[in-house]
Amino acid sequence: MVTFLGSIVLLLAGYAVYSKVVERIFGINDSNPTPAYTEKDGMDYVPMSWWKGSLIQLLNIAGLGPIFGAIMGALYGPVAFIWIVAGSIFAGAVHDYFSGMLSLRHKGEQYPSLVGRYLGKAAKTTINIISLILMVLVAAAFTAGPAQLISSITPLSFMASLLAIFAYFLLAAVLPVNRIIGKIYPLFGAILIFMAVSIGIALLFSGKSIPNVTLANFHPGELPIWPLLMVTISCGAISGFHSTQSPIVARTLKKESDGRKVFYGAMIAEGVIALIWAAAGMTFFGGTGGLQEALAAGGPAGAVNEISKSLLGTLGGILAILGVIILPITTGDTALRSSRMMLTDLLSSFMNMEGKWKVTLTTLPVAIPTLYLSTIDYSFLWRYVGWTNQVVATVMLWTGAMYLLKNKKFHWICGVPAMFMTGVVSTYIFYAPEGFQMDYQLSMIIGSVITLAIAGWYVYQIVKHKQTSKNEANLKAA
């Protein structure tokens, strides 16, 4: 219990201290007009208050991610606390801050455009495809799950529930951001926070002993911590999906200093939520063995429902149902909105579209495959979301590192976590069931070679930029 409480304190301290370090290195200037005013269109570019933006950002990036992912990650034991705390402070929140602030600095640009700006056209083309695939997969998975639950507790069939949810998705994707998202998301964000805080307080007074941090691996299936834990717990530590969501809120900020509260702060809040649910998962069922049995019986949703009802009674049951239905829906709709915005950026150089036609023609190409994928087994979708998600996160960190390097700033705050995540995704894809399913030791070797090659590229970029700076200085002196 001591390290659980200490972990929460560390997350809050990370926001109080390290977020200011990151903000100072980035270099904000509130005299710079934000896209909410310079690009104001009444659709995506709409000025909103920072507190509303924070709650929208939290709900956009969170959904069920820091709940389901944290409970699955709890199978590894209290080592998950270390990943959540360190990942949130030094990787996830930095990732979210730079994805939001770089978008803010570049007229609300989408993630792929930012990648192209700092990593080149080839990287932009590749990440455009990966990002759109990720958005469609997330939106599809977050449609099917709630639809199944709605059909089980109401007279509606699965297909009727699916179509109802999808109709809402389309409205949220094409209506101005302040019509639906700006009005109801702050309320749902508050519900997400209230649910987690209530579970945390109830857990502390439940009489159950929350285990203290250890590096030991408690996974009943003896799965390795590296790199599986870092992909299992993504939301709550670092998630590439966040970089696709940040531009939505970046287009609404009134001033640059709001970025620290909105982007860095929302990630820390998500880390706290993940920490609470990880603690609940590894504690409530009497250990990781009991948790594995609960997950086998009812999946993450069943575990959430059992924990909520037992710790909070009737209120917990209501919150669990609301959470499992509302939270994924509010992630799925912004995933569809983000994919629409990405496609708009991608096609803008090929065709000139205005107004309603632009919104409609860029929504349908992503909406149709999303609806189709929603009708298949959504557990299949999730097999391919995890790695794709973390690749996107890794590329965003490298984008931040190159931005800082180009502007002669302390690039290591992005470069170090980027190297770490490069190791994660490079090893995971060779070992994982949805990857090449290779031997673990061989996967480690291949992952290490790839990581070293990327490290070599990083060193080359550092040397090149130093030489460029030296040449510029010599020219000025001459």
Name the residue with higher pLDDT: 468 or 411. Answer: 411
In angstroms, what is the C-alpha Rg of the chain?
22
Name the residue with higher pLDDT: 323 or 433. Answer: 433
- Given a cut of 60, is residue 352 above it in pLDDT? no
Position of tokens 């023609």?
A: 361
Q: Which of 266-275, 377-386, 429-438 has the lowest mean pLDDT?
A: 377-386
Paired tokens of 267: 């990630």
- Given a cut of 90, is residue 79 above it in pLDDT? yes
CB contact at 8 A, 103 and 34: no
- Given a cut of 70, is residue 361 above it in pLDDT? no
Q: How confident is the model at residue 228 (pLDDT cuts 50, 70, 90)?
A: very high
Q: How confident is the model at residue 382 (pLDDT cuts 50, 70, 90)?
A: low
Asked whether residue 436 is domain-assigned, the answer is: no
CB contact at 8 A, 303 and 89: no
Look at residue 406 in the predicted model and tell me its pLDDT. Answer: 94
Mean of the pLDDT values across residues 380-406? 89
Q: Which of 117-126, 410-419, 439-448 has the lowest mean pLDDT?
A: 117-126
Asked whether residue 236 is domain-assigned, the answer is: yes
Asked whether residue 451 is domain-assigned, the answer is: no
Q: How confident is the model at residue 470 (pLDDT cuts 50, 70, 90)?
A: confident
Look at residue 42 in the predicted model and tell me its pLDDT. Answer: 85
Rounded to 5 degrees, what angle do the CA atoms 261, 175, 62 make? 40
- Given a cut of 60, is residue 62 above it in pLDDT? yes
Look at residue 390 in the predicted model and tell me its pLDDT. Answer: 95
Rounded-to-integer distance, Cα 363 and Cα 353, Å: 13
How would you class 376 by CB atoms within 10 Å of its CB: exposed for 0-12, middle for 13-18, buried for 19 or more? Answer: exposed
Q: Comparing C-alpha atoms, which of 128, 131, 231 is closest to residue 443?
A: 231
Name the residue with higher pLDDT: 121 or 354. Answer: 121
Rounded-to-integer distance, Cα 446 and Cα 427, Å: 7
Q: How confident is the model at residue 303 (pLDDT cuts 50, 70, 90)?
A: confident
The pLDDT mean for the chain works out to 87
Rounded-to-integer distance, Cα 261 and Cα 43, Å: 23
**Chain centre distance of CA 93:** 10
Intra-chain end-to-end CA distance of the chain, in Å = 64
Q: Comparing C-alpha atoms, which of 236, 220, 194 is closest to residue 95?
A: 236
For the chain, how many structural domains are there in total? 1
Q: How confident is the model at residue 66 (pLDDT cuts 50, 70, 90)?
A: confident
Q: Find the helix packing angle between 79-87 and 2-13, rounded to 10°.
A: 10
3-state secondary structure of 436: coil
Rounded-to-integer distance, Cα 451 and Cα 110, Å: 27
Mean of the pLDDT values across residues 317-346? 74
pTM comes to 0.90
Asked whether residue 243 is domain-assigned, the answer is: yes
Mean of the pLDDT values across residues 211-235? 93
Look at residue 332 in the predicted model and tell me its pLDDT. Answer: 78
Rounded-to-integer distance, Cα 351 and Cα 364, Å: 16
Rounded-to-integer distance, Cα 287 and Cα 198, Å: 21
Asked whether residue 407 is domain-assigned, the answer is: no
Asked whether residue 16 is domain-assigned, the answer is: yes
Q: Which of 133-147, 306-320, 459-473 has the lowest mean pLDDT?
A: 133-147
Mean of the pLDDT values across residues 8-25? 98
* Domain that residue 310 falls in: 2-390
Q: Which of 106-110, 177-181, 221-225, 252-256 has the lowest mean pLDDT?
A: 177-181
* Most confident segment among 47-51, 322-326, 361-365, 421-425: 421-425
Asked whether residue 416 is domain-assigned, the answer is: no
Rounded to 5 degrees, what angle do the CA atoms 90, 93, 96 make? 135
Taking only the tens place, the pLDDT of each residue in 129-169 is: 888 888 887 777 777 767 877 777 788 888 898 888 888 87
Domain with residue 20: its CATH number is: 1.20.1740.10
CB contact at 8 A, 408 and 444: no
Asked whether residue 429 is domain-assigned, the answer is: no
